Chains A and B, each alone.
Chain A
């Protein structure tokens, strides 16, 4: 249908207007219902989509390579375009893009005494202290594991591998990964960067309860952080063959006055040769982490 219309010698602008109208028409009538992220009724409409089942189960198969397209990794809260670090060296490569944020209600509800730490984090986000190698500065810059939920909205793909009793999620960034049993929930024996995940289903929504975190990871480059008391409850809901809606409710009574939620879409990577490539960034970060210890560096690091 679209092709025949496009054969006509329309002018460019008319063509574009028409194709937009056509796309909307198709979306509204042929698709299971468009979704408005952030509005409650969007969720109800999304529930009308029935994802194919994983064979042998009554559950939707969420397997695939997914990626978020938000700027939350810079800042979970709404943020304007801004200079980034070292503009003299990096130009616009390092600039912060604008973004409307992913926090429901826009503001992270810090306890008043906890907010100062967030601002201090932001001020020292590119500081390295070899005596406090993992407690000062943004862990992302050192290629440390991003934790949850940050791993979900980093600008890198991840892959969901769903089996009948377990789900593995593998993230491209620093090969971070986690295993989510879907049967009996268990307790974290020790803290970890990616937390300890227990999964269950709520209809067609995968719910993952994550706790047992270190206090070492950040939520974004703006210095938003948490303590060891962090608990994250994630919800992955398929709303089309190519979209999941991701929500994460964050609870940490040491830092926040109440639980708060982020929400964003996840897009399926549909390239025929889509695969998770390796981004083991340790060797890209060593000069940054250890360079101050070395008097005359032999490595090839430096601005390139």
Chain B
């Protein structure tokens, strides 16, 4: 185990002590993830805080807080080490290429062995999680380790607030509308990511993955741009606080990634995004909304019209950007909620191995969509069965969300 942690530390050498696990964080220093109050962001030549760089946006931190942590935002280093020992935090890459090879062969064998168990007698899901060799996902670097117990920091229990009754009704209506449809009668039965429209939307796509770990920030006077790995650039016009900000576009203009406007608050870039679009007519199986394919919501149970996203980007040390966001959508969530993530400068790019993000050509080669529709044409009963299976998973989640709302409403009643 020790070599693995040392390797992680070595990879994180540029990550700085703030986030490092086997680091020199001394007792008495600020808990990992907080700003060193002595640090102030470097400036661009035109005087704006400099947030530029190729940022690794992956994390090990779970989205919602494991209940054992209660309202604690940070775990101790000992707790983090224990989680690693238990295999609750798992690493794939190592910068020793031969060890990488051996590990990946082991991984494949292990994954295939685990996947050979039947799953409800449906052979299609026996191999879920082991569809491809591990080498496809083996990045040359590891994400930084944060001592945060969850990404969500508000509400204080680190859990996403319940969905509103309206949102649940809308979810149920969409499930009803899907009842006669197979998993691929036409393209609208596939998720937005499989249609190559968005991947997870915002804010979900601001988090990296093994498939797409990076984002690049490039600035110019009056703008901050974020080159996104899923084939587009977020362009944020930025003004100093108090000056004229570009007004949002008219309400008839609705965009998958909304419309963003930014301002500087000291060293922090504050971005407000509105005018989101959601014209998905039927339930989508996965990757359908701004929550990154979380286990809780496969798609956005709202229209996007009342969704406001506020993001805060602050460089907290040379190699780390704190990314904090708040989701407000009174039509969907009973209260706003906020999360924090850390982006670290990609050491691989800093070393000169990658000077730009690679193109994401998805729609242009969407053979998968052709395959899926043809498959459903070939055997519609099978396609209906698969759709029913996925609907069953969503049904369980919907019931859980309905129960969550009932409990929340009951607890508010009790307090009166």
Contact = CB atoms under 8 A, between A and B. Distances in A.
Most buried by B among A54, A277, A293: A293
B124 interface: no
Given A168-B218, A181-B356, A143 B235 contact: no
A299 interface: yes
A282 B355 contact: no
Contact of B361 (A143, A179, A192, A280): A192
A128 to B, nearest CB: 11
A298 B45 contact: no
Interface stretch (A55-63, A73-81, A87-95, A114-122): A55-63
Contact of B359 (A54, A56, A133, A192): A192
Interface stretch (A42-50, A159-167, A221-229): A159-167
B359 A193 contact: yes
Contacts of A139: 364
Interface in B365-386: 365-367, 369-370, 373-374, 377
B257 to A, nearest CB: 7
B223 A299 contact: no
6 contacts: A133-B366, A178-B359, A179-B227, A273-B249, A290-B187, A299-B186
A163 B186 contact: no
A170 B233 contact: yes
A-B pairs with lowest CB-CB distance, top 5: A56-B45, A175-B232, A278-B255, A179-B356, A192-B359
Task: Kindly name the residue among B186, B255, B257, B358 whose own CB sees the greatest number of chain A CB atoms within 10 A.
Answer: B186
B253 interface: yes
B356 A216 contact: no
A273 B196 contact: no
Contacts of A280: 197-198, 232, 255-256
Contact of B219 (A163, A178, A194, A273): A163
B246 interface: yes
Contact of A56 (B46, B235, B237, B356): B46
A193 B364 CA distance: 9
A36 to B, nearest CB: 31
Given A170-B225, A278-B257, A282-B197, 19 more contacts: A55-B46, A56-B46, A63-B222, A134-B364, A143-B363, A145-B361, A161-B219, A174-B363, A183-B355, A184-B352, A275-B235, A275-B246, A280-B255, A286-B188, A290-B186, A293-B186, A293-B370, A294-B185, A299-B188
Contacts, number: 142
Interface residues of A, number: 55
A190 B233 CA distance: 21
A163 B361 CA distance: 25
Interface size class of B (residues with CB under 8 A): 35 or more
Given A163-B219, A166-B218, A290 B259 contact: no
B204 interface: no
A111 B297 CA distance: 56
Interface in B46-77: 46-47, 52
B369 to A, nearest CB: 6
A80 B165 CA distance: 60
Interface of A: 54-57, 61, 63, 130, 133-134, 139, 142-145, 159, 161-164, 166-168, 170, 174-175, 177-179, 181, 183-184, 186, 189-190, 192-194, 216, 273, 275-278, 280, 282-283, 285-286, 290, 293-295, 297-299
A57 B220 CA distance: 12
Interface in B214-263: 216, 218-223, 225, 227, 231-233, 235, 237, 246-247, 249, 253, 255-257, 259
Nearest to B234: A170
Contacts of B364: 134, 139, 144-145, 193, 216
A275 B233 contact: no
Most buried by A among B223, B358, B364: B364
B195 interface: yes
A293 B225 contact: no
A215 to B, nearest CB: 13
Most A CB within 10 A of own CB, among B196, B220, B225, B231: B220
Interface string B185-212: 1111000000111100000000000000
Contact of A55 (B45, B232, B356, B374): B45
A270 to B, nearest CB: 14
Contacts of A181: 355-356
Given A175-B231, A177-B227, A282-B363, A295 B357 contact: no
A144 B357 CA distance: 19
B404 interface: no
B218 A193 contact: no
B357 A179 contact: yes
Contact of A294 (B52, B186, B196, B247): B186
Interface in B325-359: 352, 355-359
B44 interface: yes
B185 to A, nearest CB: 7
B225 A282 contact: no
A283 B44 CA distance: 39
Interface in B13-54: 44-47, 52
Given A55-B46, A164-B45, A177-B232, A275 B221 contact: no
A273 B246 contact: yes
Given A179-B357, A295-B377, A276 B186 contact: no
A161 B187 contact: no
Contacts of B356: 166, 179, 181
Given A282-B197, A298-B185, A162 B220 contact: yes
